[in-house]
Amino acid sequence: MDGFWSWSLVVLVPLLLAAMVAAHELGMRLHRRLSATSGESDAASSDEGFILSGVLGLLALLMGFSFSMALSRLEDRRDLMLQETSAVGYLAMLAEGLPQEPADALKADLAQYAAARLDAAELADGAARIAAENKAAALREPLAAKVRAVLKQGQPGPHAVALAAAFDAVEDTAVRRQALTQAHLPSRVLWLLAGYAVISAAMLGYALAGTRARHRVASTTLYLLISLAFGVILDLDRPRAGAIVVDQTPFAQTVKSLAP
């Protein structure tokens, strides 16, 4: 069911809001039915207030942890983008220290590879993105061959070591970026969070029915805020398809500087 959470937020947020409002009404009706059956008074119980405070507090804690995890991954993706930008620029600078013919060949392959990496980073999830990532991975092979050829032809020294380390950094950051974009919050965590929000709404409706206070506007506003917060968590967790994405401008500028 992981694909369910890839739906548009325009659908998911109103869907969660509607589920919480429906659960609220169900909780109120359940309280009235139980009160009528048992013959108990509708007076508010302090125990209900304590239980409700604990439920809403735990909901806030769960959403806070989920938001923190999603935001942390956004920062990690931004950091890796900057690392790859630096690695590509450093490899291009080291290529300048080579003889003209191998330097031009290495820089040409690096420019093609970096452009393909940028295309893959800017595409949304789907077949086109997978094809772009596969293309970039294929272009990394001739780049690696050029680096190996330079190392075999040249004399061992600091420049050769730096060149090998720079290419290793380029390859490592690319692989880590690709893996991180495919890492999401577990689907079970999202289902638990959504289900807990709905159950909390039902319990709030049950408690409000006991006080004969409906507070429809206030409770609906609360559910709207919870739904929007849930939508932000989902948006942060979708690095390519959401509205909150990592700005690729630094990497794009480096790619532009490599163009002949």
Closest CA to 197 of 235, 237, 229: 229
Give the span between the Cα atoms of 177 and 146, in whole angstroms: 23
Average pLDDT, the chain: 85
The predicted model scores a pTM of 0.80
Look up residue 233 and give its two tokens: 């968590």
Owning domain of residue 19: 2-258
Average pLDDT over residues 215-242: 86
More confident residue, 29 or 4: 29
Question: What's the CA dihedral at 132, 125, 123, 168 to 10 degrees?
Answer: -50
Residue 33 confidence (pLDDT) above 60? yes
pLDDT of residue 43: 47
Give the position of tokens 């990690």: 76
148 DSSP assignment: H
For the chain, the domain total comes to 1
Angstrom distance (rounded) from CA 10 to CA 6: 11
pLDDT at 39 over 60: no
Q: What is the pLDDT of residue 6?
A: 60
Output the pLDDT for position 154.
66
In the prediction, which pLDDT does 1 show?
44
Residue 7 per-residue DSSP state: S
